[in-house]
Amino acid sequence: MIRTFIAVELDPVFIEKIRDIQEKFEDFDLKFVKPEIVHITLKFLGDVEESSIPSLASALDSLLCEPFEAKIEGIGVFPKPANPKVLWIGASGAFGALHDEVEKVLKPFNFEKDDREFTAHATLARVKFLKKSQKGAFLDALRDLKDITLGSMRVNKVLLKKSTLTPEGPLYETLHTAYLD
């Protein structure tokens, strides 16, 4: 079994900007995602049989979604500012339609459908622990960056990724690239 997910990678031009954002939060107890691997997850598949990868790849090749322009902008937290667990950068564009199309082509595989409404975002860090005395400063940093814009990028492919968890953080490997047209 291999741990897998479907994602859109961010344009490498955003790596330094992501690093700059993360530096604004380095005084807090966060586990940062390496800027080089920050991505937008369209669907987490979990553990799948290695033998099913060709079928998953073929399903992704049948996606009916045209390439689109996306803006990487805005910063926020899940689930809510009063209790932050995940720090993220937002993404706008046709991600909702792309997510729905991914759900549609994967329906025959009986993966669990996402319960929550899809919100296009890229995780920058997970909040390990936030002292009460730090919450105000954390929310101030969040507020200062809420309107940040990293820039635009063209979304023209979706990646089937393998995730290997290590003590140093996850290692990702692209198993298949499905091009949008």
| Residues designated as active site | 39, 121
Query: In sequence order, which residues have a C-beta less than 8 Å from that of residue 87 and are 6 or more positions away?
Result: 25, 30, 75, 76, 77, 123, 124, 125, 126, 127, 142
State the burial class of residue 64 (Cβ atoms within 10 Å of its Cβ: 0-12, 13-18, 19+). Answer: exposed
CA–CA–CA angle 61, 52, 104 (5° rounding): 45
Q: Is the separation of the CB atoms in 133 and 27 below 8 Å?
A: no
Host H or E run for residue 136: helix 132-145
- Residue 25 sits at the vertex; the CA angle it makes with 23 and 30, to the nearest 5 degrees, is 110
Structure tokens at 96: 């909702």
